[in-house]
Amino acid sequence: MAIIVHKYGGTSMGSTERIQNVAKRVAKWMRAGHQIVVVPSAMSGETNRLLALAKEIAPNPSPRELDQIAATGEQVSSGLLAIALQEQGIDSISYAGWQVMVRTDSAFTKARIMEIDDSKILADLNAGKAVVITGFQGVDPDGNITTLGRGGSDTSAVAVAAALKADECLIYTDVDGVYTTDPRVCEDARRLDHITFEEMLEMASLGSKVLQIRSVEFAGKYKVKTRVLSSLTDPMIPLEQEMKSGTLITFEEDSTMEAAVISGIAFNRDEAKITIIDVPDRPGIAYQILGPIAEANIDVDMIIQNQSVDSKTDFTFTVPRAEYQKALDLLKNSVQKHIGAKEILGDAKVSKVSVVGVGMRSHVGVASKMFRTLSEEGINILMISTSEIKISVVIDEKYMELAVRALHKVFELDQK
Ligand code: ASP
Ligand code: MG
């Protein structure tokens, strides 16, 4: 008997019929003797619908109220699932985050989980119940309802699994695992049987939107055995088969196999880059530029500072395209007024493409192979950054798909 957490995404919870299928699958696991906690998302489209209602009334609604509204989506799907389980003859109870309690900080619309009280969950599991806990939401120290950011149910599930020291966290979704790249961009993309948590982190952060990035961080920190698998298979397929399907996120140190040099090609279409020309090169400048950006909660990704000439340097960084205008406005206020830079340039039509693989640590020549491939395709590289296990380039968004396909091929990701 094992404690297993199941997470079902919006598509899997998309209709009462699908919810009944989820209940059948969960019932199968319960009958095999496992203790199951289910963390569902809102029914597909529901969170968007709820947030849009608020925007009909105000262009910039209060984040606290947005959370109050958005959290209801998961409350509905959780209750429906508990009823569906009861109809399957399974004793089941659903809880909202504040009932468990899932404690978070107070960063409305992007709150972080601090702690999960496992006492109620364990008592119910030991009483033979399937426990359903709303994804995406929690409660802050003042009792306000918070949400964890879009896609946050993944993080809820992994955090619940960590709190319970569950044997496995199964993320059921509308794809059957993690692919070498997005199959919609490259038709030769292949499902990976396993991927290390560090590679997954890079893939998720680089925009392979299978899992919310925070869930992967959580899985890594607490060593939660996490598997991404399809919720669209027949719910009654044999358990042994289901347990081996999808993609398992592994830990490099536990792995006995030699890793592939490159595991995947990640990309992010919607980036923007900002360059500040002729910044005086003195201590504190990077902080003065990026401080206001961080305060506004804008994610900065790649950062490049040039070699300085005549005590002046250029400073470039990327932000999500949706935050581009906000970042520019902030900089015009802070940098141009107070630091005295010459000019601020921006380009909101860039994309990032990265090759990712832990095998890079022990192999040379990956970067040159990547750059040669891009040059053969006539693609100009605007920025480059690297880490131990990834190389990223920023390029014109027009060439993103071409770059992904060419790199997928040259690194032979279509072959096992
Ligand atoms: N319902 C939330 C969203 O749409 C959370 C999730 O689905 O993971 O973002
Ligand atoms: Mg999701």
Interval 86-134: pLDDT, tens: 999 999 999 999 999 999 999 999 999 999 999 999 999 999 999 999 9
Give residue 257's pLDDT: 62
* CATH code of the domain occupying 3-250: 3.40.1160.10
Give CATH superfamily name and number for 264-410. Answer: VC0802-like (3.30.2130.10)
Would you say residue 330 has pLDDT above 70?
Answer: yes
Provide the edge-to-edge strand list for the sheet that holds 92-95.
92-95, 130-133, 35-40, 3-8, 168-173, 226-230, 247-250, 194-196
User: What number does the ligand 1 atom closest to the CA of 150 have?
Assistant: 9
Give residue 280's pLDDT: 87
Give residue 51's pLDDT: 97
Ligand 1 close to Cβ of residue 40 (< 6 A): no
Tens of pLDDT, residues 284-329: 888 989 999 999 989 999 999 988 888 899 999 999 999 999 999 9
Q: What is the arithmetic mean of pLDDT over 193-210?
A: 81
User: What number does the ligand 1 atom closest to the CA of 9 have?
Assistant: 7
Residue nearest to atom 5 of ligand 1 (CA): 151
**Which of 6, 47, 67, 211 to mutate to test ligand 1, by most ligand atoms within 8 A of the CB atom?**
47
Domain boundaries, given as residue ranges, for the chain: 3-250, 264-410
Would you say residue 208 has pLDDT above 60?
Answer: no
Phi-psi region of 377 (alpha: psi -120 to 50; beta: other; left: phi over 0): alpha
Task: Report the share of the chain in percent with pLDDT over 70.
Answer: 97
Give residue 69's pLDDT: 98
Ligand 1 close to Cβ of residue 47 (< 6 A): yes
**Which of 150, 171, 212, 231 to mutate to test ligand 1, by most ligand atoms within 8 A of the CB atom?**
150
Give residue 342's pLDDT: 83
CA atoms of 18 and 14, how far apart (whole Å): 6
- Residue 238: Cβ within 10 Å count: 10
- Residue linked to tokens 């490049």: 304
Tens of pLDDT, residues 24-43: 999 999 999 999 999 999 99
Q: Which H or E run contains 403?
A: helix 400-410
User: What number does the ligand 1 atom closest to the CA of 41 have?
Assistant: 7
How far, in Å, is the centroid of ligand 1 from the Cα of 47? 6
Give residue 341's pLDDT: 80
How far, in Å, is the centroid of ligand 1 from the Cα of 387? 30
How far, in Å, is the centroid of ligand 1 from the Cα of 356? 26
What pTM did the predictor assign?
Answer: 0.85
Ligand 1 close to Cβ of residue 173 (< 6 A): no
Q: Find all residues with CB under 8 Å of 241, minimum gap 6, and list them.
A: none
Ligand 1 close to Cβ of residue 152 (< 6 A): yes
41 alpha carbon, distance to own chain's centre: 14
How far, in Å, is the centroid of ligand 1 from the Cα of 253? 32
Q: Matching CATH topology for 3-250 and 264-410?
A: no
Ligand 1 close to Cβ of residue 73 (< 6 A): yes
User: What number does the ligand 1 atom closest to the CA of 149 have?
Assistant: 9
Would you say residue 165 has pLDDT above 70?
Answer: yes
